[in-house]
């Protein structure tokens, strides 16, 4: 298995850590694709092509979100933070302040 992006010897890592790494790397790549498609669409003057680029961007948002949901289901730490911050209202920075009071 590729050691790309691993910051410790693979043989010292738990299987769940490798799986989390694969999920996190995949989410990073999906989000990069979202960014690239959005920029390319903004830079595109052909309406038909712009529509395709935006369609592809939305597909990548779906892929990134699927990866994030997998991380939530397999990590109580991600689950705790996603529940605290996602779909919340009000000042995001204040959520932590309120949670630690
Ligand atoms: Fe994708």
Q: 27-61: string of b/e by CB count within 10 Å (b at 16+)?
A: beebbebbeebbebbeebeeeeeeeebbebbeebb
More confident site: 62 or 99? 62
Residue 19 lies inside a defined structural domain of this protein: yes
Domain that holds residue 31: 10-99
In the predicted structure, residue 2 carries a pLDDT above the cut 70:
no
Residue 68 lies inside a defined structural domain of this protein: yes
Residue 3 lies inside a defined structural domain of this protein: no
Mean pLDDT, the chain, rounded, equals 94
Report CA(26)–ligand 1 centroid distance (Å): 8
- Number of helices (H), then strands (E), in the chain: 4, 0
Residue 4 lies inside a defined structural domain of this protein: no
Query: How far apart are alpha carbons 95 and 101 in whole angstroms?
Result: 10
Average of per-residue pLDDT across 72-84: 96
Residue 70 lies inside a defined structural domain of this protein: yes
Residue 89 lies inside a defined structural domain of this protein: yes
Average of per-residue pLDDT across 81-93: 92
Query: How far apart are alpha carbons 27 and 8 in whole angstroms?
Result: 20
Report CA(45)–ligand 1 centroid distance (Å): 24
Residue pLDDT, tens place only, 15-45: 999 999 999 999 999 999 999 999 999 999 9
Task: Give me the pLDDT at residue 1, please.
Answer: 47
Report CA(44)–ligand 1 centroid distance (Å): 21
Q: Is 67 exposed, middle or buried (0-12, 13-18, 19+ CB in 10 A)?
A: buried
Residue 60 lies inside a defined structural domain of this protein: yes
Residue 1 lies inside a defined structural domain of this protein: no
Total domain count, the chain = 1
């Amino acid at each position: 298995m590729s050691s790309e992006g691993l910051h410790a010897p693979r043989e010292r890592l738990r299987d769940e850590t490798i799986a989390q790494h694969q999920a996190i790397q995949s989410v990073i790549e999906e989000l990069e694709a979202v960014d690239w498609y959005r920029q390319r669409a903004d830079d595109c003057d052909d309406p038909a092509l712009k529509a395709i680029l935006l369609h592809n961007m939305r597909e990548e948002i779906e892929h990134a979100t699927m990866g994030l949901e997998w991380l939530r289901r397999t990590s109580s730490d991600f689950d705790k933070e996603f529940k605290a911050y996602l779909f919340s209202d009000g000042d995001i920075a204040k959520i932590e302040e309120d949670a630690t009071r």
